Amino acid sequence: VQRVGGHLEEAIALLDRVVKIRRDTLGLYHIDVAGALVMVATILTQQCKFPEATRICDEADSVLKRAAPGGSHPNVARYLLCKSAIVYAVGDYQDALPLVEQALDIRRKIYGDTHPETARAQQHRARLHHLAGEYVE
């Protein structure tokens, strides 16, 4: 992804193209469409473009509700972590933490406790607590 080199606008343009291609080839409500939308929302969040990130994240949520109705898919966890970052960034810690907890639960179910993806969700949880001035044991 282009965001590594600081080319966030270019990354968004490329991901917008990915979203269009996936919609055209896989359909509007495919899990991979949601995954690409979450990537766009994540970059927008990094740019502090919270209203736009929220809109894209909500779009991903509507896709996920149809594509992964049980909610136990890695892209659902990614969505929840992205949404929690937006919610926290606009100042609502109390609503961000349950989203991270849900993502952590999904990753534990899918990958187990020792997988790197589970560790990343645990890291998000710890970071939220730290930023709020709380410490988790």
The residue written with tokens 């968004």 in the block is 12
Q: What is the pTM of this model?
A: 0.86
Nearest in space to 77 (alpha carbons), one of 115, 104, 42: 104
Can you give the pLDDT at residue 137? Answer: 56
In this predicted model, what pLDDT tens digit does every residue of 75-108 receive, in sequence order? 999 999 999 999 999 988 889 999 999 999 999 9
The 10s digit of each residue's pLDDT in 26-81 is 999 999 999 999 999 999 999 999 999 999 999 999 999 999 988 889 999 999 99
What confidence category does residue 127 fall into, taking pLDDT thresholds of 50, 70 and 90?
confident
Please tell me which residue, 41 or 130, carries the higher pLDDT value. 41
The Cα–Cα gap between 9 and 80 comes to 23
Q: With b meaning 16 or more CB within 10 Å and e meaning fewer, what string describes 21-33?
A: ebbeeeeeebbbb
Supply the angle between the helices 74-89 and 31-46 in degrees, to the nearest 10. 20
Query: What radius of gyration, in Å, describes the C-alpha atoms of the chain?
Result: 15
For residues 108-124, average pLDDT: 94
| Crossing angle between the packed helical segments 93-111 and 74-89, to the nearest 10 degrees | 160
